[in-house]
Chain A
Amino acid sequence: MSERIIEFRDALREAMSQEMHRDPRVFLLGEEVAEYDGAYKVSRGMLEEFGPRRVIDTPISESGFAGMAIGAAMLGLRPIVEFMSWSFSLVAADPILNNAPKMLYMSGGQFGCPIVIRGNDGAGGQLGSTHSWCVEGMFSNVPGLKMAIPAFPDDAKGMLATAIRDDDPVFFLESERLLAMKGHVPEGDHYVPFGKAVVRRPGTDVTLFSFGRPVHFCLDAAEELAKEGISCEVIDGRTIRPLDIDTIVESVRKTNACVVVDQSWSFGSPGSEVAAQVHAHCFDDLDNHVMRVHSADVPSPYAANLEQAFLPNARRIAEAVRSALYVA
């Protein structure tokens, strides 16, 4: 087996390159993706590899190029749209929310929209309120789209490759803070199916559910809590739509306690949805209500210490676990 170790960003590029070689209908467009190698260097070298007809620099015009890609997808192309940040997707809300996820339904099954929209999501670099959006809370509300949020380099490759091959619109949320993370990534074809959560750390006392970057905070907290004799089972959801509730339920039936960690705001979020579903499926298995750890219910702050306090972190997760287990 290959023990190759590469960065998260290179894993993403590998998925795109691999799929573009496989299928001429796949192309990449976005701001600075070609000549600049991508604002975060995810598409480094792709212009040389595929040329300007398939790796396309767009102007700063999210509504225009997202809408253009959706039109192209209606005709059967398979565009990958890179938003430098999901924070910039808000100016393209009409095409990505009103067109892409509804086209199949409104046309009665005639026109699908096999598009991948990907980019950085979430706070973490003192970018202030406008550039620190976690869009998963807002956008996961919309039926018709799929939402994938990888936490590890091998998933970054396998999930993006799956997203490109998927016939439905996929919102692919990457964390700027994870792009330099290194890990084992299989060479060649690697596909991670959607709707399959994975247990990152087995445990018996409490189920810790998360997705994306906060999975790492959960693993940190589990390490810390193990020293107190608390055994955490950490589940990485990987996709929010579809949501693998079965894996969560199976774990909660065993542990009788559940903490959900989600870096979006708490009100109407994937975290609140998971909590509601756990309450519905596991009511008689719970020893306490499901606890939730979210970003603070305020706009994202700039100051470093405020931003740290704003985000979920291992300390807050550990507190929630102790509270859920009545040991606080």
Chain B
Amino acid sequence: MSSVTDSAPPAASGGRPLAERTSATPTQLHEWLRQMLLIREFEVRTMQAYQDKKIGGFCHIYIGQEAVAVGCTAAVQHADPVVTAYRDHGHALARGMDPKYCMAEMFGRIGGCAKGKGGSMHMFDKPNNLFGGHGIVGAQTPLGTGLAFAKKYQDEVIDGGVNKHVTLCFLGDGALNQGGFYEAMNLASLFDIPVIFVVENNGYSMGTSIERGTSMSHRIIAKGEGCGLTGYEIEGMDVLTVYEEMKKVADTARAESRPAMVDLRTYRFKGHSMSDPRKYRTRDEEQHWEAGDPITRLRDAMIEGGLIDEEGFKALNKVQKTVVREAINWAEQSPEPDISELYTDVYVEKFGPYTGTSMPQIVTDAEASP
């Protein structure tokens, strides 16, 4: 039995009243529940659409990890940059991307967030300060340092003030073993760059358990500490815990302009990608984690706290199902990119066959709306 299972903490509320467990307002809690239900339904229908061949390429499902994206983005401000790896639909939705743009992107349609040029692994959303979706394991970590560097440079060198921002750079536990991650942490520490490396530690890099692939797997924050980053270990299946703990981490990083590393313990309920038969882990282990489903935990806590009842939960869930169905319909009706799009967005300027660039619908829509 792996330590992934040993450390699994699908515990109940611990008996404490909801108000003691979180500083969040009822409105915030409802919003998180909505986001998590949206992500769950979106991912279920993404799997279906993939199996129906409406989505191509590689596709990585976020089911099980919803509390991480939702809790972490809630803990920072909208202007704070977010960058992540290829399991990115949850982050895009939590950041506020309209599900129709996200779905259309995977369908390879012009209405996608990147006009169908990025795909499942490469979700970009400028209005929502989401800087990708990056397909190469660990590639986003130096970028995360750079985004935080740029925000601090803007605040301090150009505007002459003090740093006001913090950047969330998500990575999977598989990226712990990439060299670029260490370079990114070392530079962030050397230059006092406020970036938080959020390791979504779901215990597996593809089919390799963290024990088989990563030294010090029982205490990965030691890797950040080696670069002078403060490390935090946070239980990632409970959105209340994620929010409360991440809020402290983010506030500290912002105030002190220092990087941090977070080991967020979570679990992906589905395979690494849509082609993964999950033969490397046991059904027992999966069921153990499924018992601690982050959505069920928030629902139960909110019912316990009198913020929602069973009927209200069902109604909220039904709304998300409708939203996702509409996103799929919208994506299906969105046209394929015109062939002329092949040669746009290669260079900002025009030369040779390249014809400059134009903003995708996601930006124009966002700018058009008040």
Cβ-closest chain B residue relative to A23: B158
Report A-chain residues with C-beta under 8 Å of the C-beta of B142.
63-68, 70-71, 95
Q: Is the CB of A71 within 8 A of B147?
A: yes
Of A38-46, A102-110, A183-191, A219-227, the one with at least 4 CB within 8 A of chain B: A102-110
Identify whether the interface residues of B are mostly helix, strand, loop, or mixed.
mixed
Report A-chain residues with C-beta under 8 Å of the C-beta of B126.
107, 110-111
With most chain B CB atoms within 10 A of its CB, the pick from A63, A75, A110 is: A110
Q: Is the CB of B150 within 8 A of A111?
A: no
Report B-chain residues with C-beta under 8 Å of the C-beta of A54.
157
Given contacts A24-B157, A63-B180, A72-B153, whether A105 and B144 have CB atoms under 8 Å apart is: no
Q: Is the CB of A146 within 8 A of B347?
A: yes
Report B-chain residues with C-beta under 8 Å of the C-beta of A63.
142, 179-180, 183
A164 → chain B, closest Cβ, in Å? 14
Indicate whether A270 reaches chain B with its CB closer than 8 angstroms. no
Question: Could you give, for residues 143-166 of chain A, a 1 whenever the CB lies within 8 Å of some chain B CB and a 0 otherwise?
Answer: 110100000000000000000001
Question: Could you give, for residues 123-147 of chain B, a 1 whenever the CB lies within 8 Å of some chain A CB and a 0 otherwise?
Answer: 0111000011110100101111111
How far apart are the CA atoms of A68 and B185 in the complex, in Å? 11
A281 → chain B, closest Cβ, in Å? 14
Q: Is the CB of A106 within 8 A of B114?
A: yes
Q: Is the CB of B348 within 8 A of A106?
A: no
Cβ-closest chain A residue relative to B123: A107
Report B-chain residues with C-beta under 8 Å of the C-beta of A56.
191
Q: Which of A53, A76, A107, A112 contacts B150 (CB 8 A)?
A: A76
Report B-chain residues with C-beta under 8 Å of the C-beta of A69.
146
How far apart are the CA atoms of A292 and B349 in the complex, in Å? 31
Q: Is the CB of A25 within 8 A of B347?
A: no
Q: Which of B143, B144, B186, B349 contacts A61 (CB 8 A)?
A: B186
CB interface residues, B 172-220, toward A, < 8 Å: 179-180, 182-184, 186-187, 190-191
How far apart are the CA atoms of A75 and B191 in the complex, in Å? 18
Indicate whether B83 reaches chain A with its CB closer than 8 angstroms. yes
Indicate whether A323 reaches chain B with its CB closer than 8 angstroms. no
Indicate whether A35 reaches chain B with its CB closer than 8 angstroms. no
Q: Is the CB of B117 within 8 A of A105?
A: yes
Q: Is the CB of B360 within 8 A of A104?
A: no
Indicate whether B60 reaches chain A with its CB closer than 8 angstroms. no
Interface residues on B, range: 35 or more
How far apart are the CA atoms of A135 and B345 in the complex, in Å? 24
Cβ-closest chain A residue relative to B180: A63
Q: Is the CB of A61 within 8 A of B363?
A: no
A181 → chain B, closest Cβ, in Å? 29
Given contacts A104-B345, A104-B348, whether A74 and B143 have CB atoms under 8 Å apart is: yes
Q: Is the CB of B187 within 8 A of A68?
A: yes
Indicate whether A229 reaches chain B with its CB closer than 8 angstroms. no
How far apart are the CA atoms of A326 and B344 in the complex, in Å? 45
A321 → chain B, closest Cβ, in Å? 29
Q: Is the CB of B118 within 8 A of A107?
A: yes
Q: Is the CB of B113 within 8 A of A68?
A: no
Indicate whether B12 reaches chain A with its CB closer than 8 angstroms. no
Q: Is the CB of B139 within 8 A of A27?
A: no
5 smallest CB-CB distances across A and B, nearest first, come from A71-B146, A67-B142, A64-B183, A108-B114, A107-B124
| 19 A-B residue pairings within 8 Å (CB atoms) | A53-B153, A58-B187, A61-B183, A63-B180, A67-B141, A67-B143, A71-B131, A73-B146, A74-B147, A74-B150, A75-B81, A75-B131, A105-B345, A107-B126, A108-B362, A109-B114, A109-B115, A114-B348, A168-B349
Q: A144-B347, A242-B351 are in contact. List 11 more A-B contacts (CB 8 A).
A: A25-B158, A59-B186, A63-B183, A64-B145, A67-B141, A71-B147, A71-B150, A98-B136, A107-B114, A108-B118, A110-B126
